[in-house]
Amino acid sequence: MKEIWNGRLDGWEQCDLRIWQVIKDINEFSKTDKGSKFAFIGYNTDTGVKRNLGRVGAAKGSDEIRKGLKSLPAIENTTLYDYKNLKEFSTEKAQEEYSYKVKDAFDKNIFPIGLGGGHDIVYGTYSGIRKSHPNKKIGIINFDAHLDNRPYDNGRTSGTSFKEILDNDKNVKYAIVGFQKAGNTKRLIDTANAHNVLILPEAIEESRINDYLREFIKDVDIVYVTFCMDVFDAAIAPGVSAPTPLGLDSKKGRNILLSILGSNKVVALDFAEVNPDYDIDSRTAKLTARLIYEAIDNLKK
């Protein structure tokens, strides 16, 4: 990872440091490490995207997000780790490997941040949370243009995670922020309604979305937030598997995320579908990195 974790050098005094200068390999973890602890876990596969007939390339997203993070200023009172990337790439095996990395992070009292990769990362993150919190009521908040609740009879894809989770775990609630009616068939919407999904379209004003989510969060024990970066307008985030015209504004998305984090119930966060092959000037990767940076700066408080 040294070829990625390097960047602009202003000096080695504390006030000059950038993320690439302070991040640690997970093998360097110590219980005596100071401050709030966060880990980047790469989900560097897009097999699920290919199965879902999407445009491939998101497998490269994990490292591209790291590049977006590396020269951002170091965040005080935190220790950052890199869990590196996956060894398994087929969807089911990748999800299982990823879930154990998430559980290991919990065991070490580290907050996991996923870097994807296909949005099938969701099932991996959920599985890791469930391994560590078998009896907690989980609220999953998905920033996404698409419901991702397709049938999984023929195997998992980037669009099946939520249906499989909701079908098999009655102690989970699901909310989607940035929903686009034009991106979802009637069957997908009917399936969501049958599972009592809280659907919050992109057009709803920010304050109302926050109000709905506050009520949603009250009814759960812990919260997991996931971003499919195609939730954002295609002009802002062109480097995704399925770009969205008239998508969510980035500042609105950031503000909603920070409001959710203010609940003090969020235990995991991930970002998916960053596809460098279609990005322009690394806009999508840089936006993802900025959201991660602001999330860490908020959570460490």
Binding residues for Mn(2+): 119, 144, 146, 148, 228, 230
Which residues in 65-221 belong to E strands, given as ranges? 78-82, 111-116, 138-143, 172-179, 198-201
CB 280 within 8 A of CB 238: yes
- Return the bridge partners of 179, or none: 201
Q: Which residues contact 53 (CB under 8 A, 6 or more apart)?
A: none
Strand order across the 78-82 sheet: 24-25, 78-82, 36-43, 111-116, 266-272, 222-228, 138-143, 172-179, 198-201
Q: Which residue numbers belong to the known binding site?
A: 119, 144, 146, 148, 228, 230
Neighbours of 240 (CB within 10 A): 28
